Amino acid sequence: NTMHSSWLLMQHVTPAGPEWDSVQVQTSKDGSVPVVNVSWKLQSDAGLRAINGSEINIRDETTNQSVCEQIHFSVYDMENSKQERWTFSLAVVVEPEHTYNITVFHFPEPDFRDYRIKTQTTVPGCKDPRIKNSQLCQENGSLWNPRIAAALSDKKDLINVEFDSAEHSESYLVSIQSGSVNQQENRTRLNVTLGCVSFHLSQYEVTSLSHFILQIQPYFIGCKNNCESAKKNITRRQNLSSFLDISLMTGSRSIKICLVFLFICCRKRLTKVSFLSNAVQERKRVLVIYSLDHRLYKNIVLKFSAFLAAKCGTDVVLDLLDSTRLGVLGSIQWLEWHKEQIERSSDKILILCSRGVQAKWRAMCGGKQVFLREDALSPIGDTLTPSLTLLAPYFIRSASFEKYIVAYFDDVCSEEDIPSPFKITVRYKLMKQFEEVFFRILNTEKHEPGRVKQISGLSEDKYHECPSGGALRDAIEAFRKYQLEHPYWFQEELLERSE
């Protein structure tokens, strides 16, 4: 509510309305996000002295959210020192492909006439040159140029695929669709080995396989599962035998590849066979809640998030990785938005318990206030306390249990670090029970009648064999050693005041 008290005063001389100067879409000065820069001028009228200021209101038609800003001023000459009319401007952070209604007026407003000026502008997509270089658009793949090179070999019946990876995407889904394939009734068992990826199609009788559509679907930080894919047509006139070998060369960067073959049969039926390393067939999203107990513990959280993303193909929502958007929205709005998204899906909220989580929970229940050094040093501050305030009322409802996963790193934390409301559900030890946690993330039962399912490379004695898992183990070990050398480390992290 931006109502100004001067609106209620009766004015003998009322000012005329403002006049548009320009409305431009551009990138913010720090290059992080798209903005709409709105400029307006004062009109030349006899009511100049009665103007107390201007107000601008920008409303997002897509979300119905508004930004309201007042500018207070007193001017006695219509022109400034450059003999130009006074011009005012405001840059507001916007979302690509959203439409905004913009209103500007002077106050006090007259009772008998509407001097407001209004306009509407639509922000272009991230491919537009005005905003494509912003950090937000880059995280949505605006600069990705895959430069796909694909070739069919006549001698060895190979499909060689080469493309450039992108900075903000660690996962890709590569699919090949054929328009004319004869398929037998019995299904074929397909085996996939990443590195040199091979699809064995021994049970297919393949004839006239002459045209393919190659599609590469990236998974960027911003657009997640809704990113724009890249396609390339491949043509070959000769028949293809029953063995296809796909080699993916993406340079030195370590990325996760998911390969899918889509075969359209003559009988107009679609058979889809998909493979993803580590048996992950659908990308899940996890919101990670934690406390900034110590710089070494923060490193554990970051390495754990990297492990979830790189090894497990999980989209991780972490405040440290989304500081720009969090700074714009604020902690509560940022959390509420992600919580609503997760509630409407099968995604999860992972609560990592530690000394700081228990201490801040007790402070919320009337105990001594807790100010941690890392919270004071962080540009986003303490996000755990607002997280607990928002999530705790929902967590205690039995219907919400499946949305929440409670865990702790038992090498550096303990069960005593778990706040009492979270003890009513299953608690997991990381990384000893990480495989169970990941089955929860996947919404899949590990134990079924007659069998126990396992995912290769996620057990306690195997997870560190991949690069991201090794970095996580090193981070846990570094903090464990620090705790042994500094038994009062947590007390040393406490500050008297948040400043």
Instruction: List, for residues 25-45, the tens digit of each pLDDT value.
Output: 999 888 888 999 999 887 765
Q: 280 pLDDT exceeds 60?
A: no
What confidence score (pLDDT) does residue 314 get?
87
DSSP for 134-200, written as a single string: SHHHHTTTTT-----EEEE-TTT--EEEE----TTEEEEEEEEEEEEE---SSPPPP---SSSEEEE
Last residue of a domain, one of 279, 308, 331: 279
Residues 271 and 340 placed together within one structural domain of the fold: no
What confidence score (pLDDT) does residue 213 get?
75
What confidence score (pLDDT) does residue 201 get?
34
What confidence score (pLDDT) does residue 300 get?
95
Residues 203 and 94 placed together within one structural domain of the fold: no
DSSP bridge pairs for 58: 67, 102
Residues 270 and 292 placed together within one structural domain of the fold: no
Q: 65 pLDDT exceeds 60?
A: yes
Q: Is residue 70 part of a domain?
A: yes
Residues 226 and 336 placed together within one structural domain of the fold: no
Residues 315 and 343 placed together within one structural domain of the fold: yes
Task: Kindly report the CATH number assigned to the domain that includes residue 17.
Answer: 2.60.40.2160
Name which of 143-152, 153-162, 263-272, 367-376 the model is least confident about: 263-272
The mean pLDDT of 178-188, rounded to a whole number, is 35
What confidence score (pLDDT) does residue 379 get?
83
Q: 6 pLDDT exceeds 70?
A: no
What whole-number distance in Å separates Cα of residue 15 and Cα of residue 363?
53
Q: Is residue 498 part of a domain?
A: no
What confidence score (pLDDT) does residue 203 get?
32
Q: State how many domains the chain has.
A: 3
What confidence score (pLDDT) does residue 263 get?
39
What confidence score (pLDDT) does residue 246 get?
40
DSSP for 379-405, written as a single string: TT---HHHHHHHHHHHHTSGGGGGGEE
Band (pLDDT 50/70/90 cuts) for residue 185 is very low
Residues 313 and 385 placed together within one structural domain of the fold: yes
Q: Is residue 19 part of a domain?
A: yes
The predicted-structure confidence for 465-491, as pLDDT tens digits, reads as follows: 888 999 999 999 999 999 999 999 999
Band (pLDDT 50/70/90 cuts) for residue 195 is very low
Residues 113 and 199 placed together within one structural domain of the fold: no
DSSP bridge pairs for 53: 72, 107
Residues 272 and 296 placed together within one structural domain of the fold: no
The predicted-structure confidence for 412-462, as pLDDT tens digits, reads as follows: 999 999 998 888 888 999 999 999 899 888 888 776 666 667 777 888 888
Last residue of a domain, one of 97, 124, 151: 124
Q: Measured on CA atoms in the order 409, 413, 416, 421, is the torsion positive or negative?
A: negative
What confidence score (pLDDT) does residue 368 get?
86
The predicted-structure confidence for 288-318, as pLDDT tens digits, reads as follows: 999 999 999 999 999 999 999 888 888 899 9
In terms of Cβ atoms closer than 10 Å to its own Cβ (0-12, 13-18, 19+), residue 199 is buried
**Which of 85, 12, 28 is CA-nearest to residue 327?**
28
Query: Is there a contact between 489 and 367 (Cβ–Cβ < 8 Å)?
Result: no
Mean pLDDT across the chain:
75
Residues 152 and 271 placed together within one structural domain of the fold: yes
Task: Kindly report the CATH number assigned to the domain that includes residue 292.
Answer: 3.40.50.11530
Interior CA angle at 484 toward 426 and 318, to 5°? 45
What whole-number distance in Å separates Cα of residue 61 and Cα of residue 90?
19
What confidence score (pLDDT) does residue 259 get?
52
The mean pLDDT of 172-180, rounded to a whole number, is 64
Counting residues of the chain whose pLDDT is more than 90, the rounded percentage is 25
Q: 209 pLDDT exceeds 70?
A: no
Residues 263 and 321 placed together within one structural domain of the fold: no
Structure token pair of residue 230: 């890249």
What confidence score (pLDDT) does residue 449 get?
64
What lies within 8 Å, CB to CB, of 397 at 6+ separation is none
**Which of 9, 19, 60 is CA-nearest to residue 43?**
19
Query: Is there a contact between 223 and 315 (Cβ–Cβ < 8 Å)?
Result: no
Name which of 112-121, 381-390, 445-454 the model is least confident about: 445-454
* Among 82-86, 373-377, 419-423, the range of highest mean pLDDT: 373-377
The predicted-structure confidence for 135-170, as pLDDT tens digits, reads as follows: 889 888 889 888 887 766 554 455 667 778 888 876
Q: Is residue 107 part of a domain?
A: yes
What whole-number distance in Å separates Cα of residue 281 and Cα of residue 442?
9
Q: 1 pLDDT exceeds 70?
A: no
Band (pLDDT 50/70/90 cuts) for residue 99 is very high
Residues 212 and 329 placed together within one structural domain of the fold: no
* Overall residue count recorded for the chain in this entry: 499
Q: Is residue 132 part of a domain?
A: no
Q: Is residue 52 part of a domain?
A: yes
Instruction: Say if strands 243-249 and 159-162 run parallel, antiparallel, or are unpaired.
Output: parallel
Among all chains, which residue has been given the structure tokens 């407003």?
A: 109
Question: What residues make up the domain containing 195?
Answer: 139-279
Residues 291 and 429 placed together within one structural domain of the fold: yes
DSSP bridge pairs for 287: 317, 349
The predicted-structure confidence for 324-350, as pLDDT tens digits, reads as follows: 778 777 888 888 888 888 878 888 999
Band (pLDDT 50/70/90 cuts) for residue 287 is very high
Give the number of C-alpha atoms closer than 13 A to the C-alpha of residue 313, restricted to the C-beta side.
22
More confident residue, 348 or 14: 348
